[in-house]
Chains A and B, each alone.
Chain A
Amino acid sequence: MKIIILGAGQVGTSVTEILSREAGGDITLVDIDEERLSLLQNKFDIRTVHGHASYPDVLREAGCDDAELILAVTNSDETNIAACQIASILFNTPKKIARIRATEYVSEERLFAEGGLGVDDIISPEQIVTTELLRLIERPGALQVLDFANGRIQLVAIKAYDDGPLVGHHLRALKDHLSNIETRVVAIYREGEAIMPDGDTVIEVNDEVFFIAATEHIRDVMSEMRKLDKPVRTIMLAGAGNIGFRLAEALEQKNYKVKLIEHSPERATEVSKHLKRTIVLVGDSADEELLKMENIDKMDVFCAITNDDEANILSAMLAKQLGARRVMSIVNRTAYADLIERTMIDIAYSPKQATIGSVLPKFRTGALEAVHSLRLGTAEAIEAIALDDQSSKVVGRRIDEIPLPKGTIIGAILRGEEVIIPHHDTVIVNQDHIILFVQEKKHINDVVALFQVSAFFI
């Protein structure tokens, strides 16, 4: 599939990295920064075009005439929209996806309908990162929280502590502990190694447990693994970028007490205009005096979300040192994320994975609803729809009859409005939403192929 990606920023680069390694992803990357392009061209097997992303000449040179998909993820909403519109008028490009940040555009649905701006699909990675961070803040104790089936089902990763009632017991005992709740433990990571869980597996302290359950049951299952912290009230955010600002906005709407630190006075003034109750502080998030003055030791959560990995990690460590109850940091570099797993930082969150998870399903045709990366991208959770088709390998079969690759588990099924935690004899019916956990990423294509009516890529 010929894909043109406009904008070699965070999103553009991440998507390029993933797709260029897959067969059939022929990528042309367009940007105005020539140095950045030549850097990326040396790293990935792609073509690059230097120029302004929405100019017809540049689009033509990038091969818009026969591209099947355009992903406009430049820094500017207007450039993205213009590029999609130009592509649809001049080149008839079949599919055009744009990143649009401003809610002022997004809220006008007619703009993106047929005959509108020519944008077929909107992505908003920042929105997704914000939502995921919000869920992590709201679910104390969880390492990762992923939504499936419009929020009806969640997959949660949690670290087991010795104060959890189930810790030290067989998984089978879970049924006795929670008599009317159905859940499925899909994976356990012990000291970095994956264990395929079955009824006899004993949960040990410090295990990372991944489980799937209906959203309303998540809290009960989590309390089996560790004593839950008291609810969060006060939150300090470091960095008022796109994500910091959105997060503050979402948190203050939910009546949390939010403090937001930003080092640029201009940006601080700007966001303070739009925020109602959040206290916006100008200063350095690694400034001990500032943190102390703002009662860092009384904070339930400290979350570092600047663009700078190093600053995030250090300020989160400092905050923990100074007494913040739980500290989080966003980390873009995978190498760092591995490093800090054993430090005092409670959660390292990689926005890159979330971004890719939000964009990738748009590239995969057919029955895929969502793809989420877990454990820094080594494992994946996907939501697929079973479609009735002569050749379907899933519909009408019992779960133990489906040829799933090794390490792949069906965690939950959404049938209509009902959440089913399946057993080996559950039969899949048409239109089931199936949540699968894939332990090894290399199997993902095989799993997707099971649900595919046509090939992986068009």
Chain B
Amino acid sequence: MTAKPLVTDLTVWIGGAAGDGIASAGESFAKACSRSGYHVFAYNSYQSVIRGGHVCMHIRIGQQKVHTQGDPCNYLVALNQDTFQRYAKRVTAGGAILYNTDKFKADAAQVPQGVQLIGLPVMELVGNQLMQNTALMGALMQVLGLDAAAIRELLEERFNKKGDAVIKVNLDAFDKGAAFVQEKHQEGGIRIGKGDGKRRPLAGGNPMLGFGMVAAGLRFYSAYPMTPASSLLHWLVKYAAKAGIMVKQCEDEIAAVNMAIGAGHVGARAATGTAGGGFALMTEAVGEAAMTETPVVIVEVQRGGPSTGLPTKTEQGDLFQLLGASQGEFPRVILAPRTVAECYDVGVEAMNLADKFQVPVLVTSDLYLAERLETFDGVNITNVPIDRGEMVTSADGNLPAAPNSLGNGGAAQAGGYRRFLDTPSGVSPRALPGTPGTIYTAATDEHDQDGIVISDVFTNPAERVRMMEKRMRKTDGILKVLPKPVLDGPQDADLTLVGYGSTYQVMLEAMEALTQEGLKVNVLGIRNIWPFQAAEVAALLKKCKLTMSVEGNYLGQIVKIIRMETGIEIQHHLRKYDGEPFEPKQVIDQARTILKTKPKQSVLATVQSDEGLPPNFSPIENPAIGAEAARQH
């Protein structure tokens, strides 16, 4: 056989019904690749809930960093007919479709030219339908021509507890799948070059955010289950007992956030996590944390809204909710990590900012970032910065020994303690309950520097203004320590793509693709949403020629925040609110169009994903496809 040219990245889609074991098969494959020195990006798409239970994992492997799940489908593993119906026509020439001939009859007429159809007679081969996925994995590795050592190792690890017999059955099934392809089929026409041999970590945004918080000393996490935040709860609880972290499932999100605030008040580093709907319930407590100056981290993993919306779909529609949550004005931090590795960094940073500035820190990602699997080169686990800010640990409080000029009378005396001392930074040194001599009450009603409520007095404008300004002043300090935004790519680009959070990487991919076409594009990926770094962002945007926003929402929320804070209008816009993440091609095509046509008027384009079903598809006439509604809330 003649050697074909190698590609630098390729995609495998594994689709089937919920319960077919897509996630574990897909994760095994992804992990085998990451252990073999490939960069991996996997996105598990739960297709239409109404038509029921369809799951498709898109796995892309590359010799260099892959930023997204990619566009084409090179290889398809179809565990049911639905998958075949939807995606067979999309498989690219040189690729292959693998399926179990016991499950359905694949219509060869639907298979594009140049695509191999590989039907495994699973029962005949291995005598056990439970081995379907393992046999198909063997076949897949064979057709891809990938080294099977890593996946064999994973099978051994996975079935280790079940004993040698189970390991052997699985390895046999794997080998038989591989042998079947070797005997009856050709190797795939799309082959990837060798990986670099480095075993990279492979993780999702939620676990890495949890890991970051743990690394920074998280001791208490409370939550009410809600997709897509639940995997953060699950990851944390897996390590909680041995890591000395208390994880508490609560009766609702109101309890969850208030428990975290209670734990934060006594000095345990505390966080809670939820999706948009749960965050709506937590809203009142965001202001509670700010007013009582209690450190707390609140994670909001966005999904499609409004209301219960699209429980298993992604969207970036909650920025305004985060920004506006809770009545009144107070300092808050909103961070939106952009990559899986950055979820870790932001987890660490959020814990520190909450303590140092005694404010609620809101961390927001979305389903696409939280539930994807992505390789990265590592994160800082050896020298994790820990900053609690100023603490008072003895009865010798925070008031100067010399007569002070606070001028508020009351309990002020040298060596005394004022919990809410008016300082130039706005941050008051904090004593934890249990410390002798520094007793105070933290109140959500307006209070003076000693914590004594002034809500019951007739009126006290001076004290109110003092405390309001003291709290708000923290924003200046926060702005000083936030990492500065940067432009990725050439500084003199002809087009700048602007977005926040999870769309960062699809913008990077578009930039790289367009660079290959000889076009000059760069990317402004906003990570720090609030306080908004207006001066820095404005300075960057002023250098830009053409600008186009890329946002997973309808209104263009980050665009509006940029305009509100800098007065700068992003010129063109690409938006998506169909529940699926941007596909690289959608961004590349629109960016190219803008670059080539340089429209005088602002262009607002929206894109959608193709769900893959044939036109006039009826779930009623296709009960095998329409069955099994897998709802997840």
Answer yes or no: do A and B interact: no
Q: Chain B: residues with CB nearer than 8 A to chain A? A: none
